[in-house]
Chains A and B, each alone.
Chain A
Amino acid sequence: DQQVKQNSPSLSVQEGRISILNCDYTNSMFDYFLWYKKYPAEGPTFLISISSIKDKNEDGRFTVFLNKSAKHLSLHIVPSQPGDSAVYFCAAANAGNMLTFGGGTRLMVKP
């Protein structure tokens, strides 16, 4: 039973355009959501997070949107850069409990 799903295994975007990565969850008890980025041969690195009391959080080129009624979150990268090419994982948690990760989306930003 996958509680966190990333339905697009890959995404290709032109440099300078917007990248939108999507994530769906099923557990209504989740109240904190995170995005991690992973380059080959490295561990995941934290990118941005959002609490369930918010519907948007922005950090530079990265914005995460949360739609609680739809149990859906998305990560927007604007503008996309070739260095953003990596695998992106969304993760969810409820306070004090473990993170549950999605399966990841491979983003390729073409110059």
Chain B
Amino acid sequence: EAEVAQSPRYKITEKSQAVAFWCDPISGHATLYWYRQILGQGPELLVQFQDESVVDDSQLPKDRFSAERLKGVDSTLKIQPAELGDSAMYLCASSLQRPPDTQYFGPGTRLTVL
């Protein structure tokens, strides 16, 4: 069964450093999402792509976060500089079409900022 791939699975960094996360969606899925999940809370959408275009980044802290999906396939989420409050699980998901089409999630990247 096709899956969403994410790497790394775990990342520990010091504050003010730069970090980057990678996501490879299920083949053929045009819509890709990045979510942040803080412990004890539900996932919160950071950015949504339709092919290579950003559809929604209203919740993305643009002063330090950036996301790209240059060829409309895999995607990278970057944080620079990282802050203590960025410690969370970063989840990538993909779907064939826009919401509310079923989203398939990757295993996530657990970020710890020291």
Judge whether A93 and B100 touch: CB under 8 Å.
Answer: yes
From A41, A49, A95, B102 is in contact (CB under 8 Å) with A49
Q: Does B48 contact A (CB under 8 A)?
A: yes
**For chain A, which range describes its interface: under 10, 10 to 19, 20 to 34, or 35 or more residues?**
20 to 34
Known contacts A41-B107, A43-B107; is A101 also within 8 Å of B43 by CB? yes
B105 to A45, Cβ gap below 8 A?
Answer: yes
Whether A46 pairs with B42 at a CB distance below 8 angstroms is no
Q: List 17 A-B contacts (CB under 8 A).
A: A6-B42, A41-B107, A42-B107, A42-B108, A43-B91, A43-B108, A44-B91, A44-B105, A45-B104, A45-B105, A49-B102, A93-B100, A98-B99, A101-B42, A101-B43, A102-B42, A104-B42
**How many Å lie between the Cα of A45 and that of B102 in the bound state?**
10
Instruction: List residues 54-111 of chain A with CB under 8 A from any CB of chain B.
Output: 89, 91, 93, 95-99, 101-104
Closest residue on chain A to residue B48 by CB atoms:
A98
